[in-house]
A and B are shown apart, each in its own frame.
With several copies, the nearest count.
Chain A
C-alpha cells in the first residue's frame, strides 16, 4: 500500500486530493503511473505522457525510475508555479 497525493490541476482533474493504492512494492514510479493510467478515464487523461507532471516520493522530487516501497507517500503534481 502507498499513499497517493494529488495537487493543483491534477487534484482537480481526479476530483480527490489523496487516496491509498494497492501497488505491488517494490515498484518504480513508472510502473505506478502505468497502473494508474490503466484505470482509464480521468487518470489516463491527467497522467498522459503528453502532459507535464512531476512526482515526489516521501516529499523528494524524483525521476521515473525511482523506487517505491511499502508505506511511501507518492505525490503527483504539475510543474510548480510559485514565487
Chain B
C-alpha cells in the first residue's frame, strides 16, 4: 500500500500520519523524512530553488522504489510526496513516511527510499544565487549512499 504524489502545493506531515494511523491498527512505528530548502549550497547563498520533473516517469520511479523497499522490510504503508515548482529557503521539498510494526523496519525502509529517490527519481533542481541561476550538480555522495544498500 503506497501513496505517491508530485505536486506544487505544500504538504502536511501530521495529516499524512493521521491517515496512515486511521487505516491500520497494527502500525507500531512511523519513520518520516522531510527535505527542506537550505539558504546556502556549495558556499553560495540560495534565494530560491525551482524543481522540474518528468511527469509519468517520476511517479513510476517512486512507486518502484517503494515496492523494492517493501520487499526488503516489513512495510504496512508508505507515502512519498515531492514538490515541484519554485520554493524558498525553509520550505518543505520532499516527504517520505513509512509505517511498520516495528521501528527498525520503518527506519531502514524510509532511509532506503530517500537514498534511491536521490539517484533514481527524475527531478532536477535549479537554484538562484547571487551569481545567477544554476542547475544543481548531482553529488557523488548520493551514489555512494545508494550503493551501500546494494551490498546488503
Contacts and interface: CB of A to CB of B under 8 A. Distances in A.
Q: Do chains A and B touch in the complex (CB under 8 A)?
A: yes
B124 A81 contact: yes
A41 interface: no
Contacts of A9: 124, 135
A83 interface: yes
Interface stretch (A26-34, A42-50, A71-79): A71-79
- State the main secondary structure of chain B at its contact with A: mixed
Nearest to A12: B135
The range of chain B's interface size is 20 to 34
A1 to B, nearest CB: 20
Interface of B: 35, 51-54, 56-57, 60-61, 82, 93-94, 103, 114, 117-126, 135-139
Interface residues of A, number: 17
Contact of A7 (B60, B61, B124, B137): B124
Interface of A: 5, 7-9, 52, 56, 59-61, 75, 77-83
